[in-house]
Structure 1
Amino acid sequence: MTALHTNPLFARLVGAERILVAGAGGGFDIYSGLPVALSLLHQGKEVHLANLSFSTLAGLPAEDWAAPDLAAVTPDSAPHLSYFPERTLARWLRLHGYPSTVYAFPQVGVQPLRAAYRALIDLHRIDAVVLVDGGTDILMRGDEAGLGTPEEDLTSVAALAALDDVPERLVVSVGFGVDAYHGVSHALVLENIAALERDGAYLGAFSIPRATREGALFLEAVAHAQEHTPDRPSIVAGSIAAAVRGAFGDVRFTERTRGSELFVNPLMSLCFAFELRGLADRCLYLDLIEDTHLMRQVHSRIAEFREDLVTRPSRAIPH
């Protein structure tokens, strides 16, 4: 049990020496984990970064592959690609003198992703993993009316859930409210968090203040990513960054959101922390995707699970 003035997430990582911070859902998810990763680096920890990637990894040369389904992305990787969040982050890290390798996993099923995680954990003797979701669909059990886009997130959860020899496996969800665009009921998100609290798997929440060193660096990293990916900037990372800056309401920071109404708010800068094993135990379909090798199998298994399911209806947060 920790004291109120001690953050439970970081308290769980006090004894860890080599920590992997990984983006769960692809795209720019690893940016959502940057404040936690930077804080750990500033505490003197050895920190490695990884991300389930939406980038075109197949064309990387053989020397960029650390293991099957595990690419080691550097600032100089694939200069011809315009969309490559892992390389963009690697370049920003190099600008600031941080270790600048960002590992990338292709979009595969649970079995090959678990093997890739195992290879990375063994390579660096990782003793703690923090899996980060930019959004809240990682918290969906499967019986909600709207799941958002959980396939990549829960593939990552399932891949890590069986790696019981890693002493600490934690999940951070940041960007509360951003998944409303994908049909997620955030009243049900809060209901799920309450259930995780009853199970003992909820580790509390903390904000990313822009007045902190890590908050300021996060804003700089997101701005750098938007500048270097102008055709496909991250709506999630942009929304979280806007919230950290104190913006509110329908904030327009990219043409990608034209025609939709955003609700940027201070809750988007909160990091909700959980034990990964407890989160995995509450997912109703995790066993159904266990033997998958392809991401399309994960999609189809979830769809089959939900065909005859009576779902919990969306609810509004009282106002």
Structure 2
Amino acid sequence: MISMTDLHTNPLFHRLRSAERILVAGAGGGFDVYAGLPIALSLRHQGKEVHLANLTFSATEGLPLDAWLAPDVAVIGPDTAPHQTYFPERSLARWLATHGYPDTVHALSRVGVQPLRAAYRALIERYDIDAVVLVDGGTDILMRGDESGLGTPEEDMTSVAAVHGIEGPERLVVSVGFGVDAYHGVSHGLVLENIAALETDGAYLGAFSVSRATREGALFLDAVAHAQATTPDHPSIVNGSIAAAVRGGFGDVQFTARTRGSELFINPLMSICFVFELEGIARRCLYLDRIEHTHLIRQVSSEIAAFRDEVVRQRPPRRIPH
């Protein structure tokens, strides 16, 4: 039976109303944790204890032993690895510190399902977490596996599989940045079809927009601008696109040299947070069982590629009428 709430109640925060200690984690690596920042800040403003984590692309191998909470979980603060130029988790920790928020961001190693699950378990046990919110900057976390293009699913689905195997906490998925994955071959017509199927299953919990008229929306814009200024050689295209949409940008809004030569389509749909039960996402993924026993991210890539080779008929791109 589908759980009911009132129309005026935000479904995400309604589901988290009884949670006291919440982990908001970037599922896909890079700057994904920034996409979860409006949610994390709103929960903190409600008096919740919120912890941040991110599947990291940063070079954490050389961090001192006392930086590690557990294998594959590093505790990152404003002063961590000061000479590294690319370190999204540290960039966020510095922004949090300047705004008076707790300034720890946990970096999760880019590994396979089994060690990543152990890392999540360590975080959940250390902080007595009762809810986990995985956030994807983009929509490839919603791909089943038989679509014509999957985007870059390895990190997202490793995160989903890792958390799916942990019983106890409430487990939710948020996808924000509708449209940004078109440049990675994702058909957003198929994204909408997948969301409809999740709705049929009772796993789609609705959506809401990040607005710059809210305190959290304004802070998100400030955090993204700070990240772009402190990581000028590799700014986040995803969060830059979301931020441009939150500011009201439309069309080919260029904000980094990384997209020079590409025509962007910034639009209001990019600021919408689509919310799902993680169980529903996991149940609909056609290859999740294949990556269950992986230890390395390259094994995840190999298993997905092997599955794709066996798909008799890929679902072709679905055009959105215009």
Query: How far apart in 2 are the matches of 1:279 and 1:174?
Result: 15
Aligned to 1:132, the other structure's residue is in SS state: strand
Task: State whether structure 2 residue 30 is matched by structure 1 residue 14.
Answer: no
- TM-score under structure 2 length normalisation: 0.98
Match 2:257 to one of 248, 252, 255: 255
Aligned to 2:171, the other structure's residue is in SS state: strand
Q: Deviations over 1:155-209 (max 9, x none)?
A: 000000011122x100000000000000000000000000000000000000001
Query: How far apart in 2 are the matches of 1:188 and 1:276?
Result: 19
Question: What corresponds to 2:113 in structure 1?
Answer: 110
Specify every segment of 5 or more residues in structure 2 that has no aligned partner in the other structure, as ranges. Answer: none
**Which one-letter code corresponds to 1:223 in the other structure?**
A
Question: What corresponds to 1:83 in structure 2?
Answer: 86
Question: What corresponds to 1:25 in structure 2?
Answer: 28
Task: State whether structure 2 residue 135 is matched by structure 1 residue 132.
Answer: yes
Task: State whether structure 2 residue 72 is matched by structure 1 residue 69.
Answer: yes
Question: What corresponds to 2:176 in structure 1?
Answer: 174
Query: How far apart in 2 are the matches of 1:290 and 1:261?
Result: 38
Q: Deviations over 1:46-86 (max 9, x none)?
A: 00000000000101110100000000000010001000000
1:150, distance to aligned residue in structure 2 (A): 0.5
1:106, distance to aligned residue in structure 2 (A): 1.1
Task: State whether structure 2 residue 56 is matched by structure 1 residue 39.
Answer: no
**Which one-letter code corresponds to 1:183 in the other structure?**
G
Question: What corresponds to 1:307 in structure 2?
Answer: 309
1:2, distance to aligned residue in structure 2 (A): 0.4
1:260, distance to aligned residue in structure 2 (A): 1.0
Q: What percentage of residue pairs aligned between the two structures are identical?
A: 76
Query: How far apart in 2 are the matches of 1:162 and 1:289?
Result: 12
Match 1:143 to one of 146, 150, 171: 146
Query: How far apart in 1 are the matches of 2:243 and 2:66?
Result: 35
Question: What corresponds to 2:211 in structure 1?
Answer: 209
1:226, distance to aligned residue in structure 2 (A): 0.1
Specify every segment of 5 or more residues in structure 1 that has no aligned partner in the other structure, as ranges. Answer: none
Aligned to 2:310, the other structure's residue is in SS state: coil
1:211-250 → structure 2 map (5 Å cutoff): 211-250=213-252
1:5, distance to aligned residue in structure 2 (A): 0.3
Question: What corresponds to 1:93 in structure 2?
Answer: 96
**Which one-letter code corresponds to 2:179 in the other structure?**
G
**Which one-letter code corresponds to 2:46 in the other structure?**
Q
**Which one-letter code corresponds to 1:121 in the other structure?**
I
Task: State whether structure 2 residue 300 is matched by structure 1 residue 298.
Answer: yes
Q: Deviations over 1:269-313 (max 9, x none)?
A: 000000001110000000000000000000000000001311100
Q: Deviations over 1:185-241 (max 9, x none)?
A: 000000000000000000000000101000000000000000000000000000000
Question: What corresponds to 2:166 in structure 1?
Answer: 163
Query: How far apart in 2 are the matches of 1:49 and 1:114?
Result: 16
Query: How far apart in 1 are the matches of 2:97 and 2:305?
Result: 42
Query: How far apart in 2 are the matches of 1:183 and 1:317?
Result: 15
Aligned to 1:307, the other structure's residue is in SS state: helix
1:19, distance to aligned residue in structure 2 (A): 0.2
Aligned to 1:218, the other structure's residue is in SS state: helix
Q: Deviations over 1:65-117 (max 9, x none)?
A: 00000000000100010000000000000001100000011110000000000
| Runs of 4+ residues over 4 Å off in structure 1 | none
Query: How far apart in 1 are the matches of 2:263 and 2:87?
Result: 27
**Which one-letter code corresponds to 1:247 in the other structure?**
G
- TM-score under structure 1 length normalisation: 0.99
